[in-house]
Structure 1
């Protein structure tokens, strides 16, 4: 039986005020959803319309469901007693400290991952891209725990599960462990600093490409390497993308090096990324005191950029909440997005590019036939949501509400 959502606030356009400012227009609608979780009708609200199987949304604003595009479900300490982090001298020491606790933590991975998924769903995301440690210390144990946790929430979330060589690709039997992970539930292949960690860029990249082609999966690289080391790594991989017809199957996470080079170099790389349909996954870590990728420049050149919260409350950091919307708010604040359009368009970084209105203020979402996946908030418009995120949100995934 189809269901109805009544009194849903949707954005319908823009209006120009006498002072020259643009304001967002909204109206109330009734939305019919079929048993497959698709929108079959959008009707302007009529108070006399009282169908069966209906829920009154009381004027809450509907937004596209959010996407958490860089996460580590297996690393969190959530559900365990409080524990702060130890200071380290660098990335390699942090990895060493992590390795010391991997075996113990693997035993409760499902429990911890479930707690993290609950947080993420509560903040409005119905898609999680999670990197999962595949390493000599625990093999596939974290993958098994994460897959069990995700299965419990399959009505509310879909996931990209990345086999991630957190402690290096070119060591022990890691390439074969990655192959086993891809045979046993992982859907993507990860990579980590071919220069800084593997210390052999070409061999690391060629090994990654070989496994990716063997299993016909996409690749998402963690790339922390700074300056021209990281820039060269991206450039070299794009050469291989051309040679191996791998267009549209790569994402680079972090990519701090793109913020370290000159603007002409940034533009040249943005053009290459766009040409090969390579996306950038950023955790917008302004607190690190380091350059992050030039997100506005990349966007202006047509590169897809997506945000993620990364890991939170784990051996790497005691901070973080899992609120992907707060990432957008921080980005918009730091980069001085203050107009209605600028704020509204910033939402695209956590919705896979979908915003209710396009750059000219015309309706582009939702449409009949779209997936009925929404975040409902008590706000006037998406610009207000970005600038002033509300704590209370309600997620619907394909016609099914998530209730904690």
Structure 2
């Protein structure tokens, strides 16, 4: 069957699926044309897709219904899909072999510009007790890291692809020690891997805007294709909360950028910073929907009623939270964020660097960790946890069980895993059998 015949014999069905009553012959292995990274047009056959929820007598979700489908992919888009009935196609074929197909994964907070990844194993250096101690450490080790940072970033992207990640919000150091070199090297890596990784860049003043006098260099970075202006602990590092935040916001406004600040400060100083950010964003409409608080540990130290009230304010002005889902003494109020419609995104932060040796680059693992922390153990809540890994609440089914992914016209970006449904994929974190980015095969086993 060729492209024309495929499209002719499919008709639009309920929920966006394409169905046909034609009985197909089986795909013959010796006639299959292999899909490679350069293949632009192919059919993904025997793909397991979620169709809806199965409910018990009490109206509770007890299982997920799935079916096998063939998806026609062309020029990075899903053009059509229909139930898999063993069709024979005359073009390139990728056989999912009944394995589950899920949306691609997005890592919304990661540092690949200063990683030890690619080197022989060693744990992190003896770290300092404070962020300022770590800044002193960075000033000593960054010159050597920059020598190979492009190659290491490319290796990190390859690892991210293996884990199913196709999109990353990359934090990159902008400070006097690195100058603009960290940004330039990261941009080279992203350009070299543009078919494999979609990305945004945050110009991140890791050594403090005021503490390291980085305003001028941040303004230069803002004119070099970055997407967000960052900030760092305006009170405990910069020593002047209002001035530090004002500089950060003003640069973003001057160059029409978003804001993504690292805020590690606890409730004692961090709450005042968050409240000041809310007031600033409320007064500046261009910042609404484009401002994010990374980490935001102060939010995890609030009483429930205070966290709910502050979440309402964050949602009202369009400030999002990006959490790496810390474990231990500090649990972030992620269920509260969802309850009050705060834009929530997550990231893995790092692979291995001088801050931590524990990163895996696996966003599906991050979803599992979140489910474990908050007790999401049943079929429904585990299926909802997938949005931790995909950003923007992208799941194959809505909370009501309506199928919304994949649909014709959507980007052909997905992963293939050996699981029966998204709930199992979250709970068991299976190997990524194949990963596609805009129709391009970027990883397969």
* Residues 1:234 and 2:253 are matched in the alignment: no
Determine if contact 2:114/2:146 at 8 Å carries over to the other structure: no
Partner of 1:111: 151
What displacement does 1:397 show? 0.7
Determine if contact 1:147/1:185 at 8 Å carries over to the other structure: no
Determine if contact 2:61/2:380 at 8 Å carries over to the other structure: no
Determine if contact 2:366/2:388 at 8 Å carries over to the other structure: no
Which of 153, 159, 166 is 2:206 aligned to?
A: 166
TM-score calculated relative to the size of structure 1: 0.96
SS state at 2:384 partner: helix
Give, in whole Å, the separation in 2 of the partners of 1:375 and 1:290. 34
What displacement does 1:350 show? 1.8
TM-score calculated relative to the size of structure 2: 0.87
Partner of 1:187: 227
Partner of 1:320: 359
What displacement does 1:375 show? 0.9
What displacement does 1:264 show? 1.6
Partner of 1:52: 91
What per-residue deviation string (whole Å, max 9, x for no partner) do you get for residues 149-205 of structure 1? 111211121111111000010145411111111222322111111111111111011
SS state at 2:121 partner: coil
* Residues 1:75 and 2:114 are matched in the alignment: yes
Determine if contact 2:103/2:395 at 8 Å carries over to the other structure: yes
Structure 1 segments unaligned to the other structure (5+ residues): none
What displacement does 1:231 show? 1.3
Structure 2 segments unaligned to the other structure (5+ residues): 1-39
What displacement does 1:90 show? 2.0
Determine if contact 2:109/2:168 at 8 Å carries over to the other structure: yes
What displacement does 1:294 show? 0.2
Partner of 1:279: 320
Partner of 2:243: 203
- Give the count of matched residue pairs: 401
| Greater Cα offset, 260-269 or 16-25 | 16-25
The structure with more radius of gyration = 2
Determine if contact 2:211/2:237 at 8 Å carries over to the other structure: no
What per-residue deviation string (whole Å, max 9, x for no partner) do you get for residues 322-353 of structure 1? 11111110110121111111000011122121
Determine if contact 1:123/1:324 at 8 Å carries over to the other structure: yes
Partner of 1:388: 428
What displacement does 1:18 show? 6.2
Give, in whole Å, the separation in 2 of the partners of 1:144 and 1:51. 45
* Residues 1:128 and 2:173 are matched in the alignment: no
What displacement does 1:290 show? 3.0
What displacement does 1:138 show? 1.6
Structural RMSD (CA): 1.5
